[in-house]
């Protein structure tokens, strides 16, 4: 027995200590005096001063939304007046998607199509919304908890907007009612494609029977071979106010590849969450091509079972009631992953047995501050969007058992994001490596960035500029094509799908100018954009990166709808100066996805190795 697992056991001990800590429950907001006292307390020792400077800016101000309205200001003042009062009643009203507004009680559906659409829609059940609340009757009113509850309702795919506000009770000094008004979105989404070779039909219900469950069905048929493909997924969100989510998935592709999986998980859905964990089970069969030593590809069968388990605990390290202190936590998580291959490639195509049975034990310990700012005109048109910002300092350690070898793993992560005078900026930096007999193996260094400008006005038009750079560096990677970096699809540039376009280092940069046109057409808002994406690859033969530039230039329009459940869809046209193995001066349609510029989260969750992709 070697000493390599000791790092994992040490982190496990930290996790056990964390779960033994006493929970503190606070309500209300600190005054400036209390904040200052805690700031002064942090100066009494070098350690306190280090932790304080690590996590906070002194007198950090709450981020305001662009175009904030007087209504929000009045609601905030009402919360300030009623902070700490006992909640007597919670009144929930859910609204059909057409013709109603959470702001104006007088708005009613008037047009025929609005009334007809509402008659086909099943509204969210009141208890579906109630299960998303972090506060209850007969508890003191805590504006931070109410704010978090509002965010959790807003992030559901079946709700468009929500307002939670206190309602003062005449003649009562110590009690208050809470009013919650929620506007649904149209949740039944059909989709389909048809060509001379195949047809596809997809039907997704995001709010099945008003329960908040999601039911997805996707059917494809090839006309020439008569083969069928089906994907079905049923998701249960937030089982009985536990915030435990469960899902079942079955997929059978046109090539008869099968995937069956089940997941049950409770994430750190809020910075106020104390316990999290989950389990995942999957059976999978597929065929993929691998090259031999001479570079000749041949199809190989893969069949594997995967099991994952993890458990996490988060606890406060500051006793202050200020939002900064209440959203700052020490998070500890442990995890186990077991992969068992029932069919593997022939040794000539996988001489190092990269695809082999594996057991992975990991633990993470870290500090994070996780907050959300309300903003508009990013990925939706005029809807409040919750933008994450904060900080993460975390280390991950453990060991892996694979091919009768035990390797230690060590990794670290730093993440930071905030609003500045010139806009929003965030970065996520990760490093991780296995250690075998004192040597590093399969090392990954990864830096990601996100930036967008403040909302700019050009007459009645609005505009933002987005920038997203990514750098990935691999060292001592496995000598197999499946352990190489690609620039295809989600990994860089959509359209570069040949696996021979690979390397051990990668730099990509996405630039997007996003505009928001004034007005609407039958509830549809149009947001023209221009996108440029560039990438470089490098390998062992380059000092860093190869000089060849891969690029794509896109122009199109994102289309948002006031009532539909999906964030947006787009029509786009892309120009590729060159795609290796395909040709020069190529054009594609709809080769841009709205989630290409997705923002990071500052959550510490299931412990994983640094992704190499």
Stated as kind and residue range, the H or E segment containing 7 is helix 6-19
| Residue bearing the bigger pLDDT, 195 or 178 | 178
Which sign, positive or negative, has the C-alpha torsion 476, 478, 480, 481?
negative
Token pair 């068992």 in the structure block, residue: 340
Q: How many CA atoms lie within 13 A of 223 on its CB side?
A: 7
State the pLDDT at residue 16: 39
State the pLDDT at residue 398: 97
Give the best-scoring range by mean pLDDT among 82-86, 186-190, 224-228, 425-429.
425-429
Token pair 């790092």 in the structure block, residue: 7
State the pLDDT at residue 347: 94
Q: Which of 463, 513, 504 is nearest to 483 (CA)?
A: 504
Q: What percentage of the chain exceeds 90 in pLDDT?
A: 62
- Give the bridge partners for 182, in sequence order: 94, 162
pLDDT band at 433 (very low <50, low <70, confident <90, very high): very high
pLDDT band at 393 (very low <50, low <70, confident <90, very high): very high
Global pTM?
A: 0.85
pLDDT score of 442 more than 90: yes
Domains annotated for the chain, with CATH where assigned, are 70-184 (3.10.20.310), 274-597 (2.40.160)
- Which whole number is the average pLDDT over 307-336? 93
| Sheet with 175-184: strands ordered across | 86-95, 175-184, 159-168
Cβ contact 383:376 at 8 Å: yes
pLDDT band at 322 (very low <50, low <70, confident <90, very high): confident
Range with the lowest mean pLDDT among 9-13, 65-69, 387-391, 427-431? 9-13
Torsions phi, psi of 284, nearest 5? Answer: -140, 140
SS3 of the chain: helix, strand, coil, percent, to 5: 15, 50, 35
- Which whole number is the average pLDDT over 245-253? 97
What is the rounded (10 degree) CA torsion for 420, 423, 424, 430? Answer: -80
State the pLDDT at residue 591: 58
State the pLDDT at residue 443: 97
- Which whole number is the average pLDDT over 341-365? 96
Q: What percentage of the chain exceeds 70 in pLDDT?
A: 85
pLDDT band at 109 (very low <50, low <70, confident <90, very high): confident
- Give the total residue count for the chain: 613
Mean pLDDT computed over every residue of the chain: 86
pLDDT score of 214 more than 80: yes
Q: Which residues contact 232 (CB under 8 A, 6 or more apart)?
A: 216, 217, 218, 249, 250, 251
Stated as kind and residue range, the H or E segment containing 41 is helix 32-41
Instruction: Give CA separation, 540 vs 473, 484, 497, 505, 537, in Å.
Output: 11, 11, 22, 9, 11
Range with the lowest mean pLDDT among 71-85, 154-168, 234-248, 577-591? 71-85
pLDDT score of 20 more than 60: no
Three-class SS of residue 365? strand
State the pLDDT at residue 35: 44
Q: Give dist(CA 285, CA 306) in Å, integer.
A: 12
pLDDT score of 382 more than 50: yes
Q: Is 382 left (phi over 0), alpha (psi -120 to 50) or beta?
A: left
State the pLDDT at residue 601: 86
pLDDT score of 254 more than 60: yes
Give the best-scoring range by mean pLDDT among 162-166, 412-416, 561-565.
412-416
What's the first-to-final CA gap in the chain, in angstroms?
34
- Which whole number is the average pLDDT over 51-70? 47
pLDDT band at 4 (very low <50, low <70, confident <90, very high): very low
Range with the lowest mean pLDDT among 43-52, 320-329, 436-445? 43-52
**Number of CB atoms found within 10 A of residue 399's CB:** 22
pLDDT band at 376 (very low <50, low <70, confident <90, very high): confident
State the pLDDT at residue 377: 87
Cβ contact 204:219 at 8 Å: no
State the pLDDT at residue 470: 95
Q: How far is CA 552 from the centre of its chain?
A: 25
For residue range 124-145, what is the model confidence (pLDDT) as tens digits?
999 999 999 999 999 999 999 9
**Number of CB atoms found within 10 A of residue 443's CB:** 18
pLDDT band at 453 (very low <50, low <70, confident <90, very high): very high
């Amino acid at each position: 027995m070697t000493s390599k697992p000791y790092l994992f056991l040490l982190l496990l001990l930290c996790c056990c200590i964390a779960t033994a800590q006493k929970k503190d429950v606070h309500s209300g907001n600190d005054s400036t005096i209390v904040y200052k006292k805690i700031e002064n307390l942090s100066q009494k020792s070098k350690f306190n001063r280090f932790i304080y400077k690590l996590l906070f800016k002194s007198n950090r101000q709450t981020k305001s939304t662009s175009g904030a309205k007087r209504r929000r200001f009045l609601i905030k003042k009402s919360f300030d007046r009623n902070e700490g009062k006992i909640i007597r009643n919670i009144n929930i009203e859910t609204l059909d998607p057409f013709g109603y507004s959470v702001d104006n009680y007088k708005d009613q559906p008037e047009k025929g199509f609005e009334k007809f659409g509402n008659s086909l829609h099943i509204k969210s059940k009141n208890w579906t919304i109630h299960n998303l609340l972090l506060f209850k009757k007969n508890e003191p009113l805590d504006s931070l908890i109410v704010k978090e509850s509002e965010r959790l309702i807003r992030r559901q795919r079946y709700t468009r907007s929500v307002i939670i506000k206190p309602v003062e009770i005449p003649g009562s000094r110590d009690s208050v009612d809470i009013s919650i008004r929620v506007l649904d979105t149209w949740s039944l989404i059909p989709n389909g494609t048809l060509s001379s070779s195949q047809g596809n039909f997809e039907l997704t219900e995001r709010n099945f029977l008003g329960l908040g469950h999601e039911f997805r069905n996707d059917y494809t048929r090839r006309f020439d071979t008569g083969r069928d493909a089906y994907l079905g997924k049923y998701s249960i969100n937030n089982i009985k106010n536990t915030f435990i989510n469960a899902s079942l998935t079955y997929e059978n592709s046109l090539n008869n590849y099968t995937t069956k999986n089940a997941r049950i998980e409770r994430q750190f859905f809020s910075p106020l969450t104390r316990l999290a964990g989950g389990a995942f089970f999957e059976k999978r069969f597929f065929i993929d091509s691998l090259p031999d030593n001479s570079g000749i590809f041949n199809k190989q069968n893969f069949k594997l079972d995967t099991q994952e388990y993890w458990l996490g605990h988060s606890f406060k390290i500051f006793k202050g009631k200020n939002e900064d202190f209440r959203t700052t936590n020490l998070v500890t998580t442990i995890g186990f992953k077991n992969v068992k291959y029932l069919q593997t490639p022939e040794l000539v195509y996988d001489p190092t047995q990269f695809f082999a049975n594996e057991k992975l034990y990991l633990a993470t310990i870290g500090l994070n501050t996780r907050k959300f700012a309300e903003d508009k005109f990013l990925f939706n048109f005029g809807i409040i969007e919750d933008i994450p910002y904060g900080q993460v300092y975390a280390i991950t350690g453990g060991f892996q058992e694979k091919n009768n070898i035990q390797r230690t793993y060590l990794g670290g992560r730093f993440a930071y994001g905030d609003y500045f005078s010139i806009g929003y900026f965030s970065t996520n930096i990760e490093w991780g490596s296995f250690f075998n007999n004192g040597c590093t193996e399969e090392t990954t260094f990864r830096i990601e960035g996100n930036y967008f400008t403040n909302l700019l006005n050009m007459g009645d038009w609005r505009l933002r500029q987005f920038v997203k750079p990514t750098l990935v560096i691999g060292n001592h990677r496995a000598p197999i094509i499946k352990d190489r970096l690609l620039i295809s699809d989600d990994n860089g540039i959509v359209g570069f799908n040949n696996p021979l376009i690979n390397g051990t280092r990668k730099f990509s940069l996405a630039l997007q100018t996003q505009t928001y046109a004034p007005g609407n057409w039958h509830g549809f808002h149009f947001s023209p954009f221009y996108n440029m994406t560039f990438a470089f690859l490098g390998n062992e033969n380059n000092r860093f990166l190869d000089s060849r530039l891969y690029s794509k230039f896109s122009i199109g329009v994102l289309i948002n709808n006031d009532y539909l459940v999906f964030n947006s869809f787009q029509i786009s046209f892309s120009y590729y100066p060159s795609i290796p193995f395909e040709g020069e001066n190529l054009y594609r349609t709809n080769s841009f996805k709205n989630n290409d510029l997705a923002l990071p989260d500052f959550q510490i969750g299931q412990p994983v190795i640094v992704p190499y992709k």
